[in-house]
Amino acid sequence: MSKRHPVAVLGGTGYVAGEFLRLLAGHPGLELVAASSESRAGAPIAATFPNLAGAFPAATFCDEAALEQAVGDGRVRALFCAAPHGAAAGRIDTLLRVAAAAGAELSVVDASADFRFRDPAAYARVYGHPHACPERLAEFAAAVPEHVAGLPAKHIGHPGCFVTSVLLGIVPLLRAGLAEPEFFVSAVTGSTGAGRKLGEGTHHPVRHSNMFAYQPLTHRHRPEIEQLAAEAAAPCQVHFVPHSGPWARGIHATVHGRLAGPATAAALREALAAAYAGSPFVEVIDTPPRIKDVAGSNRARLSVAAEGEAFVVMSAIDNLVKGAAGGAMQWLNRLLDLPEDAGLRLPGPAWI
């Protein structure tokens, strides 16, 4: 690619931010110009992410004032946001105001949950506080990129990792009228899904050689799944039980449902395969998917089984890539009129 678009990462020290930086290091059409961190401003990026020392040997984190200056000067064309839920919206609003005042174009893809709900009241019910800038919600769309053609909005709020893993399995079956609109989901995620900050559920002695459910049937991703499934296909009810698994990265989701009419496993598999026939990242396979086959990559693998009126879809993705930074990069590629798979064809390392 002859042109490289200048990109910044807002909130640059968490696990998702590290994946944004890693993917940017190998992207042929994007170039990192700034990564902000209030707590580590001035510190080398490689001190936080030693795995990136070869890609960014001299780069340092900046503070948000410096990022605002770069946006106002027109030195940033696009922004990845990896700031925490609740904090992201206000910071994004500030940067968009700075860009507008300077007459600069700025495309945003937010990996937090702040722009996943269209209704500010729905956001407040789920997250327990008012949305920081409800007037911005109309400028954002939230969707798995494989489920929406073109550009649904000026900016994107990327769905969460659990949400992505489940929607990949259920949206094609709802669209094809093959599934009843009620699903029972058990999904297991690695410890990186809880973020960098240490907590009881992420402490190594607790996670090692262990698996446990948390927030059964009440997790905040349930309303996200239901909203985005309704927008992409049809209204449905989802009974969601997330689990913590004893690995660092990857999600395995098992989705149980009932057939809307007589259908075979082959028919379900054909519907899934047809839905993702044009996708470079989603593969429908004949055997149950495994996390190690997708970890570290932007790929997703799905399989299906059926017996009588019951069926099950199994989905495996990397929570940090397809479920966060990689899916977000798909959207930014599209916003900037780049090939959607640019910078994302990297294979997974398998043995991690």
Nearest Cα to Cα of residue 249 among 186, 197, 295: 295
Lay out the sheet containing 251-259: strands in order across.
Answer: 212-213, 237-244, 179-189, 251-259, 310-317, 300-307, 282-284
Backbone angles phi, psi at 24, to 5 degrees: -65, -35
Distance CA(296)–CA(317), nearest Å, equals: 9
Kindly name the residue from 62, 133, 161, 236 that is annotated as catalytic. 161
Classify strands 300-307 and 282-284 as parallel, antiparallel or unpaired. Answer: parallel
- Structure letter (DSSP) for residue 247: S
CA angle (341 as vertex; 335, 346 as ends), nearest 5:
135
81 annotated active-site: no
Distance CA(258)–CA(181), nearest Å, equals: 8
What is the distance in angstroms between the CA of the first residue and the CA of the last residue of the chain?
Answer: 32
The residues annotated with a catalytic role in the active site are: 161
